Amino acid sequence: MTHREAYRVMLQGYPDVLNIEQMCEILKISTKTGYRLLKDGQIQNLKIGRSYRIPKAHLVAYLIQFDPSIVQA
């Protein structure tokens, strides 16, 4: 199982588009840190009105960028 597949299995209980609270729960970070990641553009997101939405695919992309053993196709 690749890391990408492992992340997808880990996130299977979550909706395809996450809110900030769900993203922070997954990453085990504070909401303040989560907002900073989004505002700095480290995690691609959608801003709808005053709220942020994070597609799971963008969260997976953020996670795999820290593992040098993963070769992205």
The per-residue pLDDT for range 20-62, each reduced to its tens digit, is 999 999 999 999 999 999 999 999 999 999 999 999 999 999 9
In a domain, 27, yes or no: yes
Provide the residue range defining the domain that includes 17.
3-64
Distance in Å from the first CA to the final CA of the chain:
16
In a domain, 69, yes or no: no
Do residues 36 and 24 make contact, with C-beta atoms less than 8 angstroms apart?
A: no
Q: Is the predicted pLDDT of residue 11 greater than 50, yes or no? A: yes
pLDDT of the residue at 64? 87
pLDDT of the residue at 34? 98
pLDDT of the residue at 4? 76
Angstrom distance (rounded) from CA 9 to CA 50: 30
In a domain, 70, yes or no: no
Domain count, the chain: 1
In a domain, 45, yes or no: yes
